[in-house]
Amino acid sequence: MKLTKENIETQIMLYVDNELSAEELRSLLTYLGQHPEYEALLREYQNSVLPPEELFFAEKNQLMQAENRKVIPFRIISGVAAAIAIILAIAGYYQWINNDDLLHNKRVMALNSSDSVANSQPKVVAKADNVGQKQDAAPAGKPYQRLHGRAQNVLPVNAPILVMQGQKKNVLAIKPMPLLPSAVIADIQQPEQVEVAPVEPDFSEQQPIAAQEPAHQPGVLPANQIAAILEQSDRLKGAHSLVAELDERKNKAVDTWQQIKSANVILKIGSKKIMIN
């Protein structure tokens, strides 16, 4: 900037305030050297600068803080608080889920502690060809044993019921295993004439108990004869289809047996329904 008498006063004030760059300062000093009439103005502005003056604040000790007091930045405190809140929320959520599962899995059961149930002997009945007729096909088995504690009379939603349709009957080969429930066979077509044919496992025998089949029903072969029949009559026409059908039935029965093992079973004795789980 070129110095003139119009801007010299401003440059002098900037000089007094220490706001000039090195180049500007050099220019000003050169100009003042060439124009000594402005030296008095420079001196007047220099005298307007406040001289150093010391004042002492006597209460500094009241302002100071104890040295052993640690200052934790607010962002750290807020971060820790947020982390704790998140952990508590997650723990509360899992707790809520577990409680909900317990309530969901809890079965509402009522006790049926009738003595007649404990002392009654299950009857082994077979479904006759004629609907509505009851027939005792075999002598009564062992007295009913409560295998899983209390007997129930409330029908659960997952209770499997073996269905007997018409003349065909699902037969199970019961293996001697502990805590075996009884099988329930019911005819859903005639619900008012449901006949229960509990098959009690015989724990005294180590051999699988063969299913009880009335001999007067042709076409229904015991499972233990299937292999022999297969060996002997593979040349028989139609036997293959029959064997395949029997195999299929056997597999279905095994699947159903697996379901029964893991599910509740309803035992109907007379007019009473007892759930075993």
Partner 1 sequence: MTVSEYNQCVHDIADGLYRFAYKTVSDDELAKDMVQQAFLTLWENCGKVPAGKAKSYLFTVAYRRCMDEFRSQKNFVAPEIVSEHLADRNHAPPDLKAVLQKALSKLTAQNRMLVLLKDYEGYSYDEIATLTGLNAAQVRVYLHRSRKQLKDYLVSVGHLL
Residues at the interface with partner 1 (CB under 8 A)? 10, 13, 16-19, 43-45, 47-57, 59-60, 62-75
Q: Compare residues 18 and 105 and give the one whose CB is closer to partner 1.
A: 18
Find the shortest distance in angstroms from Cβ 95 to partner 1: 36
Residue whose entry in the numeric block shows the structure tokens 């502990």 = 178
Find the shortest distance in angstroms from Cβ 39 to partner 1: 13
Q: Compare residues 18 and 207 and give the one whose CB is closer to partner 1.
A: 18
3-state secondary structure of 272: strand
Q: Compare residues 70 and 106 and give the one whose CB is closer to partner 1.
A: 70
Find the shortest distance in angstroms from Cβ 31 to partner 1: 19
Whole-number Å distance between alpha carbons of 156 and 265? 9
In Å, how far are 37, 40, 181, 200 from 155, measured between CA atoms?
119, 116, 15, 21
Find the shortest distance in angstroms from Cβ 53 to partner 1: 5
Question: With helix as H, strand as E and coil as C, how does 98-129 read?
Answer: HHHHHHHHCCCCCECCCHHHHHCCCCCECCCC
Q: Compare residues 79 and 222 and give the one whose CB is closer to partner 1.
A: 79
**Which residue from 248, 250, 174 is spatially nearest to 212, judged by alpha carbons?**
174
Q: Compare residues 17 and 248 and give the one whose CB is closer to partner 1.
A: 17
Find the shortest distance in angstroms from Cβ 6 to partner 1: 14
In Å, how far are 65, 189, 212 from 186, measured between CA atoms?
88, 9, 16
Find the shortest distance in angstroms from Cβ 68 to partner 1: 8
Q: Which amino acid, residue 189?
A: Q
Whole-number Å distance between alpha carbons of 184 and 262? 15
Residue 203 has which token pair?
Answer: 């724990």
Whole-number Å distance between alpha carbons of 276 and 260? 10
Task: Return the half-sphere exposure (C-beta side, CA atoms, 13 A cut-off) of residue 141.
Answer: 18
Q: Compare residues 6 and 115 and give the one whose CB is closer to partner 1.
A: 6
